[in-house]
Amino acid sequence: MPDLIGPDFITLHVRDLEASRHFYADVIGLKLSPEVRPNAVAFATQPISFAIRKAQVDLEAVSRLGYGVILWFRSPDAAALCQQLKERGVPIVQELADSPFGKTFAFRDPDGYVITVHDGG
C-alpha cells in the first residue's frame, strides 16, 4: 500500500496578494521563486516549498486564520531576525526563547497567521 512521505508544499490563502508578497519578500526576506502562477506567489524555500495565493475561500468567515496549526520556518539566526522584525514593526506574538529547536519566536503576518521561527539550536 502507498504511504505518505511527508509535507511537500505549504500555501497560505491571503486577502491582499501584493501586500502579502511585500511582507514575505521585502519585510521577512524570503526570496521569490522564478515560478510564476496566476493569483499566487511562490518563494524559493527549502526543504518545503512555500507560497501565498489570493484567497479562494471566505477568510472573513472565521475570527482567526490558521488557528490550531503551527508553521515553522528555519533561520540561521533567529535572534537577529527577531530583532530585525521588531524594528520593522512586525507583531511578535511569542518573544525569543530557548527551546529544544534552538532559539524560537513567533510573529503575525498581515492576515493574522502566526509563523514560528527557529534556528535549529
Parse the chain into domains and list their residue ranges: 1-56, 66-121
* Mean pLDDT for all residues in the chain: 93
What proportion of the chain, given as a percentage, has pLDDT over 90? 77
Task: Report, at the CATH architecture level, how domain 1-56 is classified.
Answer: Roll (3.10)
Sorted by sequence, the CB contacts under 8 Å of residue 100 that are 6+ apart come out as 121
**68 secondary structure, DSSP code:** T
φ/ψ of residue 43, rounded to 5: -115, 155
Identify which has the larger pLDDT, 64 or 32.
Answer: 32
pLDDT surpasses 80 at 36: yes
pLDDT number for residue 64: 84
Query: Can 1-56 and 66-121 be said to share one CATH topology?
Result: yes
In which band, very low, low, confident or very high, does the pLDDT at 1 lie, cut at 50, 70 and 90? low
Look at residue 121 in the predicted model and tell me its pLDDT: 77
Q: What is the CATH number of domain 66-121?
A: 3.10.180.10
